[in-house]
Chain A
Amino acid sequence: GAVVSQHPSRVICKSGTSVKIECRSLDFQATTMFWYRQFPKKSLMLMATSNEGSKATYEQGVEKDKFLINHASLTLSTLTVTSAHPEDSSFYICSARYGGTAHYEQYFGPGTRLTVT
């Protein structure tokens, strides 16, 4: 089956620094990638949707200048948390979809645990 990787799996950073999380589709080309945030014992919250070569579409309430998303190729998307603060500590999950319509399932990465001290 399709595999999506995320790197790093865990990261601890100091307040005020920036952190980059990579999401790769390993064996398929992803036309669309999604970034989610999951709070403890809560559901996934969609942060943004990105199509290769286009600007990401952010959900209401998500600061695009704080959460920079780049989808440079059909197999790689990056999320950069800029000037991180402790409230940004969370579990970030990406997913990738190789079809352009809703009929196609999303394949999820294993997630990245970000802790901001």
Chain B
Amino acid sequence: GNSVTQMEGPVTLSEEAFLTINCTYTATGYPSLFWYVQYPGEGLQLLLKATKADDKGSNKGFEATYRKETTSFHLEKGSVQVSDSAVYFCALSTNNDMRFGAGTRLTVKP
């Protein structure tokens, strides 16, 4: 079946550090890939997405590229801020299925 494997963390970084959160997937067919973010006390919000191979999703300085050859969708940000502290979930979607990774808690210290 479909599945997502995500670096679990927690990850603690200093402000302006470079962030990478690894995500790999297993799926039949051609899934769409997503990164969702959950800020403390809030629901999940879409951060970015990519719907086909080699697509790059980007938002708020975060980027992820859909790599079919390595079945990966790693999340990166060049310079994190304290306000980026949250839990990040990698997810894949097919027409009637959605799978989430375990989530990675990121804490950014000033």
Q: What residues of chain A lie closer than 8 Å to B66, measured between beta carbons? A: none
Q: Kindly supply a per-residue 1/0 record for chain A positions 97-109, scoring 1 wherever the CB is within 8 Å of any chain B CB and 0 otherwise.
A: 0001111011111
Q: Kindly supply a per-residue 1/0 record for chain A positions 104-117, scoring 1 wherever the CB is within 8 Å of any chain B CB and 0 otherwise.
A: 01111111000000
20 A–B contacts from the bound complex (CB under 8 Å): A41-B105, A42-B102, A42-B103, A43-B100, A43-B103, A44-B100, A46-B98, A93-B43, A95-B98, A100-B95, A101-B95, A102-B31, A102-B93, A102-B95, A103-B32, A103-B51, A105-B49, A106-B46, A106-B98, A109-B43
Residues 92 to 108 of chain B near chain A (Cβ within 8 Å): 93-103, 105
B34 within 8 A of A: yes
Q: Kindly supply a per-residue 1/0 record for chain A positions 42-72, scoring 1 wherever the CB is within 8 Å of any chain B CB and 0 otherwise.
A: 1110100100000001000000000000000
B17 within 8 A of A: no
Interface residues of B (CB under 8 A from A): 31-32, 34, 36, 42-46, 49, 51, 89, 93-103, 105
Shortest CB–CB separation between residue B90 and chain A, in angstroms?
A: 10
A108 touches B93 (CB 8 A): no
Closest to B105 in A: A41
The main secondary structure of chain A at its interface with chain B is loop
| Residue in contact with A43 in the complex, picked from B42, B46, B51, B89, CB distance below 8 Å | B89
Chain B CB within 10 A, most for which of A101, A102, A109: A102
Q: What residues of chain B lie closer than 8 Å to A93, measured between beta carbons? A: 43-44
Q: What residues of chain B lie closer than 8 Å to A106, measured between beta carbons? A: 46, 93, 98
Known: A42-B103, A43-B89, A102-B93. Is A34-B42 also a contact (CB below 8 A)?
A: no
